[in-house]
Structure 1
Amino acid sequence: MSAPRTVAVPAGRYGPWFALIWLFFLGDPLLAAWARRDEAAGIGGLVVTVLFAALYMLIWWQARRERWMADRTPPPARALGLFVGLVVLCAADVALLGEVGTACVVYVAISAVLLFRLVVAAALVVLAVVGSLGLGALEDWGSQAGLAFAVLAGSVAIFGVRALISRNAQLLLAQAENAELAVENERTRFARDLHDILGHSLTVITVKAELARRLLESGDDADRARALAEVGDLERLGRDALADVRRAVEGYREITLPGEIARARTALAAADVEASLPGTVDDVPTDLRDLFAWTVREGVTNVVRHAAARRCTVTVDARAVEVRDDGRGWDEGGSDGGHGLAGLRERAAAVGATVVVRSLDPGLSLRVGREAS
């Protein structure tokens, strides 16, 4: 079983100073001890109170450094040792200084919240409240309701702080997991698109290179001429594949024909449209690849958004690309001739191609290419 994940919660810079400020409640025991400094009990009270404050601050400092309140607690033996040390010093303060030493009880209860899990800490806080009330009656110190309320209020406040820090830790963990998932999804998408872009091209390059080698080895003039044609294809395919990879690495800012076919497969599947897509686009001339990519994007987007089609077919050859569907057709909103189609006509005109949109029975055909029909 794998260990539960944790996340680094930024440590509060002012946490220990916050704890230090609230030590002013130990001023009464210190003043009482100082007033009796000519007695052993007074000297002992001074030393014990200072040691108690130092141990309490040590607990806060370790809680901040090790982030105990971020849904974690120290090891049980360590927590018990620190807590018992505080209890012993608190008991010594009460024994040496009397009622004024009970101010330490509040800090003991707060430390219990820092050191132990919720159930144990709650039990210790209740015990501190009951002990405060009982000690006042036993020693005839009068009502200790104020002390009991201070113990309860301080403990509840730290419970709230601990719950808030724990929720923040969970939120940071969720954000970290979401970021990791986003990176992983992007990595998977990039790998899939890169495979779609390069997989077939490299296969065709390999086959053509082997064919060119065999033709050159034959020594026949006709075969040599054919080999030169194959080498020309190799050069074109290599350049196109390199351009596609560069665009993919740049973060999909540029459109590529293999990439658009890969995205069309995903989009049509998500829309529950049966897709028939080309397995290769190697015959498409370099100057038409961007135009054909935009055509696939525009046509497939139209099918997914408007056509209500059950099947979509994309065909690509060296002269034209066609996206056809069996949906509602032109008149019913299969294509509205908007900005997407206008932009496609401008791109086509720039490379001497034409755009033809035809209504089918049923469906729509978008064909772009040179000598499109």
Structure 2
Amino acid sequence: MAERALGLLGVVGFAVAYMAFFWYARSNNMARVKTPMGVRLGFIVTLLALAALMLPAAGVTALTSLVFVEALGMMVLPLRVGVALGAGLLAVAELALRLTPGWRDDGSYSLSIVLGGLAVFGIRRAMLRSIELTAARKDFAELAVQEERNRFARDLHDILGHSLTVITVKAELAGRLMEANPTRAAAEVADVEQLARAALADVRAAVAGYRELSLAGELVSARAALQAAEIKADLPTVVDEVPEENRELFAWVVREGVTNVIRHSGAKRCTIRLSKSMVEVVDDGKGPTAVAGTSGHGLIGLRERADQAGASVQVGQAPDGGFRLAVRVAP
């Protein structure tokens, strides 16, 4: 009677402890978290002690508990330790079956220990892969957000940098003409209003995420901006030679190059050349400076666009002095 009571206590205690330990292991992700090894081994020792209580009443069937001990060990212990535990439990089962009178070895206990350990190992690997996949998705989402922020900041800089530069030049020109030529001054003020509205529309389009530049349109805008700044413009009149896939990038080059010419160069002449694979903006101004060198925000954004298109950016002094900006697309 006492043996049965002890065995029943062992079975109930083993079941409760196993479920509690397994739930704790999963909720605390013990396969990854640095839980003290003593705590993990304490789980195993507790289950083995409860399994020993079953022996007087359950006999050989108590060896079934070793399958669950190995399963928990594969869940909470490092892989090598879990495998070593499985090997030890397998040896205990085989020795007990051979040395205990009346116990018959049919191979089922040993096979169950091996299969149980393999099954939990597979579950553990699947859990780890799921955690790693979730972390990777989170990283990709954060990278996508960061890339979108960079895209928007780059577009906003290029849009407002160019538009506000032209607006400033035209406003200064209108101020000088206010008394000498009121009609011309009024026309320049009207242009300022139109440019401000166009810049606002560009910002809204950039926010919407579908804004694209037109190479032909940028050449027209560049001519008007250079004329307003009293810089002679030598620009191409057609863009048919440029492949469609290169035109947006070349449009950004024209915009950034002309903006820098107006802002920094002090030039009297600006030349833009186009070919199938290259666009070049050259002026006859004072050449590269610390402001209009290679590290401005506009040129950084232009390099990022060029990298995405597989193109190279060249900046530096022009052959005849002045500043040269060129972008070449790999064939």
* TM-score for both structures, normalised by structure 2: 0.62
Partner of 1:325: 275
Partner of 2:312: none
Question: Could you list the runs of 5+ residues in structure 2 that have no partner in the other structure?
Answer: 227-237, 248-252, 259-271, 278-331
Any conservation in 2 of the 1:48–1:89 contact (CA below 8 Å)? yes
Any conservation in 1 of the 2:3–2:57 contact (CA below 8 Å)? yes
User: Structure 1 residues 326 and 45 mapped into 2: Cα distance closer, same or farther (>3 Å)?
Assistant: closer
Any conservation in 2 of the 1:87–1:108 contact (CA below 8 Å)? yes
Partner of 2:194: 236
Residue 61 of structure 1 and its aligned partner are, at CA, apart by 1.9
Any conservation in 1 of the 2:241–2:275 contact (CA below 8 Å)? no
Q: CA RMSD in A?
A: 3.7
Residue 211 of structure 1 and its aligned partner are, at CA, apart by 5.9
Any conservation in 1 of the 2:73–2:82 contact (CA below 8 Å)? yes
Counterpart of 1:190 in 2: which secondary structure? helix
User: Structure 1 residues 82 and 260 mapped into 2: Cα distance closer, same or farther (>3 Å)?
Assistant: farther
Partner of 1:55: 17
Partner of 1:26: none
Return the alpha-carbon distance in structure 1 between the equivalents of residues 148 and 13 of structure 2: 56
Counterpart of 2:104 in 1: which secondary structure? coil
Any conservation in 1 of the 2:21–2:43 contact (CA below 8 Å)? yes
Partner of 2:283: none
Question: Could you list the runs of 5+ residues in structure 1 that have no partner in the other structure?
Answer: 1-38, 262-276, 285-294, 306-312, 328-373
Any conservation in 2 of the 1:247–1:256 contact (CA below 8 Å)? no
Any conservation in 1 of the 2:242–2:276 contact (CA below 8 Å)? no
For 2:209, which of 243, 246, 251 is the aligned residue? 251
| Identity %, equivalent residues | 37
Residue 103 of structure 1 and its aligned partner are, at CA, apart by 1.7
Any conservation in 2 of the 1:136–1:143 contact (CA below 8 Å)? yes
Any conservation in 2 of the 1:237–1:282 contact (CA below 8 Å)? no
Counterpart of 2:243 in 1: which secondary structure? helix
Residue 99 of structure 1 and its aligned partner are, at CA, apart by 2.2
For 1:149, which of 83, 88, 111 is the aligned residue? 111
Residue 239 of structure 1 and its aligned partner are, at CA, apart by 0.6
Query: Structure 1 counterpart of 2:125, which letter?
Result: A
Query: Structure 1 counterpart of 2:197, which letter?
Result: R
* TM-score for both structures, normalised by structure 1: 0.56
Deviates more, 1:100-109 or 1:203-212: 203-212
User: Structure 1 residues 182 and 303 mapped into 2: Cα distance closer, same or farther (>3 Å)?
Assistant: closer
Count of paired positions: 246
Query: Structure 2 counterpart of 1:80, which letter?
Result: L
Query: Structure 2 counterpart of 1:49, which letter?
Result: V
**Pairwise mapping of residues 1-373 of structure 1 onto structure 2 (< 5 A)?**
39-68=1-30, 74-95=35-56, 97-140=58-101, 141-143=103-105, 145-209=107-171, 215=176, 221-222=179-180, 227-252=185-210, 254-257=211-214, 280=222, 283=225, 300-302=242-244, 324-325=274-275
Q: Deviations over 1:268-306 (max 9, x none)?
A: xxxxxxxxx89947649xxxxxxxxxx86x76434759x
Any conservation in 2 of the 1:278–1:314 contact (CA below 8 Å)? no
Query: Structure 2 counterpart of 1:185, which letter?
Result: E
Q: Deviations over 1:234-253 (max 9, x none)?
A: 2111111001111111111x
Query: Structure 2 counterpart of 1:247, which letter?
Result: A
